[in-house]
């Protein structure tokens, strides 16, 4: 028995040693595998986007412009909200260029907010779109970016695209100026002169930055748009002036720089219309312009539109930007039914008590909101309370319109008093002031329209009646 035990001893020892080696090997393999997995995970993480993903609602809608769609990208994320609008066409190259700008803007915004050490800070990114058609198939797209990263101030910058929508070609400033550096020098001198003589921002200009930004270099003038009869150049906030100047815009009449332009963009000088064209219709015909301020209203405006349809009457609606923002679908309905839309400021202040910068902010923010809602700019402007002056009128780029008959509907709020106020003050080519935010106005409007129609009045928009009031 003792001899058997002695013989088994080495065998058992050998087996135990083998078991230990095997277990050690398995443990080492597991450890090495985990380390490799960690390494792969770290390597993979370096390839992931640096910005956090944010849920957003993306939609695409057709527009009033052939071949142009509007893309809306909105996120209500609590810390990093954004609202972005940009154009889309049938041309992939153009779409890719726009999308690159949008993607870069979003990524930089989200990355900056992620790096912000103040985790309670809230950011904001808004990119608004203005679309300006020129001739039959040229479009200027102006993308204005307002970015706030939780600091003291926001930043405003502009990106523009000018395209031939038939070919998809992006038109550069070189193409516009015939690739002629002499034309560029002349243009640069005009832009600099316009900025230096602008009384509203003259004292806010940074001399060195202005001179540098208006040197005759092609890269200095790549933010431009053709808007109606002017070539506009955009400067970012703080680029050439203090924050009080906002984001300066230079507007050069095409008639001034016509010889500098390539032939397809020149205007026929003999066809340039005077600022105030004379009336072409019968001056003795009875006309009246009905106007409605302070809307749109989700209930009253629609009631008024239905009454106007009943009498085949056209009117002008002076809208507040703060309300268009909430009811863009009603603004679109107003335009679709053939009425004119006017700008009535953002939130109805007394403009004469504001600085010129504040006045233009009231105008521009509303203009942008209306453009965004209806893909069309407001054609007339009415200052709240009729409070304006020559300085304000000179800065507003569209006709400033008051009224000749005040129905006082804002004061009496009585449907029965609407018609008497019109009757007692009625005259040809009158502009009637009413408000589409009062139920009493909607209730009394039918009687007004019936009476005016009986008297032989034609219902026209403000823009149609202005030539007869000069």
Quickly list DSSP for 228-275: TTEEEEE--TTTSB-GGG-S-EEEEEHHHHGGGS-GGG---GGGPPPS
CB 70 within 8 A of CB 88: yes
**Is 435 annotated as catalytic?**
yes
Q: What mean pLDDT is reported for the chain?
A: 87
Query: Which one of 339, 435, 436, 438 is the catalytic residue?
Result: 435
* pLDDT for the residue 251: 92
Mean pLDDT for 277-293 is 80
Nearest to 142 by CA among 452, 392, 367: 367
**349 phi/psi in degrees, rounded to 5:** -90, 170
Count of CB atoms within 10 A of residue 450's CB? Answer: 14
Q: Which of 21-30, 137-146, 303-312 bottoms out in mean pLDDT, i.e. has the lowest?
A: 21-30
Least confident of 219-223, 354-358, 450-454: 354-358
For the cut 70, the answer to whether the pLDDT of residue 281 exceeds it is no
Cα separation, 149 vs 152, in Å, equals 9
Choice among 293, 294, 409, 436 that is catalytic: 293
Residue 165 near residue 68 (C-beta atoms within 8 A): yes
The pLDDT of residue 228 is 86
pLDDT of residue 199: 78
Q: Is 294 a catalytic residue?
A: no
How far, in Å, CA of 470 to CA of 171, rounded? 40
pLDDT tens digit sequence for 393-431: 988 989 999 999 999 999 999 999 999 999 999 999 999
Q: What's the gap between Cα 431 and its chain centre?
A: 30
CB 171 within 8 A of CB 188: no
Model confidence pLDDT, tens digit, residues 20-39: 666 666 666 565 555 444 44
Average pLDDT over every residue of 30-59: 51
Phi, psi dihedrals of residue 312, rounded to the nearest 5°: 50, 40
Mean pLDDT of 209-230: 94
pLDDT for 267 beyond 90: no
Element housing 227 (H / E): strand 224-227
The separation between the first and the last C-alpha atoms of the chain, rounded to the nearest angstrom, is: 134
The b-or-e profile of 418-448 (16+ CB within 10 A means b, else e) is bbebbeeebeebbbbbbbbbbebbbbbbbeb
Q: Is 358 helix (H, G, I), strand (E, B) or coil?
A: helix
**Lowest mean pLDDT across 6-10, 338-342, 464-468:** 6-10
The residue ranking higher by pLDDT, 77 or 53, is 77
Q: Which two tokens stand for residue 64?
A: 């009033």
Q: Strand, helix or coil at 259?
A: helix
């Amino acid at each position: 028995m003792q001899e058997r035990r002695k013989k088994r001893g080495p065998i058992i020892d050998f087996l135990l040693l083998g078991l230990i080696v095997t277990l050690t090997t398995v443990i080492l393999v597991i450890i090495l595998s985990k380390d490799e997995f960690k390494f792969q995970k770290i390597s993979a993480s370096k390839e992931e986007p640096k910005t956090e993903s944010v849920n957003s609602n993306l939609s695409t809608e057709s527009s009033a412009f052939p071949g142009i769609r509007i893309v809306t990208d909105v996120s209500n994320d609590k810390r990093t909200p954004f609202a972005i609008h940009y154009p889309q066409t049938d041309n992939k190259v153009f779409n890719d260029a726009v999308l690159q700008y949008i993607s870069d803007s979003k990524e930089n915004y989200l990355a900056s907010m992620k790096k912000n050490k103040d985790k309670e800070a809230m950011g904001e990114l808004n990119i608004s779109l203005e679309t300006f058609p020129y001739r039959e198939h040229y479009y200027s797209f102006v993308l204005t970016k307002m970015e706030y990263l939780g600091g003291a101030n926001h930043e405003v910058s502009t990106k523009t695209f000018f395209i031939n929508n038939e070919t998809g070609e992006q038109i550069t400033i070189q193409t516009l100026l015939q690739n002629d550096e002499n034309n560029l020098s002349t243009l640069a001198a005009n832009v600099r002169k316009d900025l230096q003589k602008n009384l509203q921002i003259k004292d806010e200009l940074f001399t060195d930055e202005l001179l540098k930004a208006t040197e005759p270099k092609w890269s200095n003038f790549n933010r431009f748009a053709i808007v109606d009869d002017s070539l506009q150049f955009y400067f970012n906030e703080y680029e050439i002036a203090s924050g009080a100047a906002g984001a300066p815009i230079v507007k050069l009449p095409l008639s001034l720089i016509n010889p500098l332009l390539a032939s397809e963009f020149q205007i026929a000088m003999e066809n340039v219309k005077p600022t105030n064209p004379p009336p072409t219709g019968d001056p003795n015909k009875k006309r009246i312009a009905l106007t409605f301020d302070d809307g749109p209203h989700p209930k009253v405006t629609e009631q008024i539109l239905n009454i106007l349809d009943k009498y085949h009457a056209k009117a002008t609606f002076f809208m507040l930007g703060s309300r268009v923002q909430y009811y863009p679908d009603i603004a679109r309905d107003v335009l679709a039914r053939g009425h004119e839309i006017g700008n009535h400021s953002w939130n109805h202040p007394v403009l004469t008590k504001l600085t010129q910068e504040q006045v233009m902010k009231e105008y521009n923010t509303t203009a942008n909101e209306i453009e965004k809602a209806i893909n069309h700019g407001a054609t007339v402007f009415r200052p709240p309370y009729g409070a304006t002056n020559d300085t304000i009128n000179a800065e507003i780029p569209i006709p400033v319109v008051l009224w000749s008959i005040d129905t006082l509907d804002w004061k009496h709020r009585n449907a029965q008093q609407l018609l008497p106020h019109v009757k007692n003050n009625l005259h040809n080519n009158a502009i009637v002031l009413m408000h589409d935010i009062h139920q009493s106005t909607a209730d009394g409007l039918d009687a007004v329209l019936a009476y005016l129609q009986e008297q032989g009045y034609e219902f026209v928009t403000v823009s149609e009646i202005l030539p007869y009031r000069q």
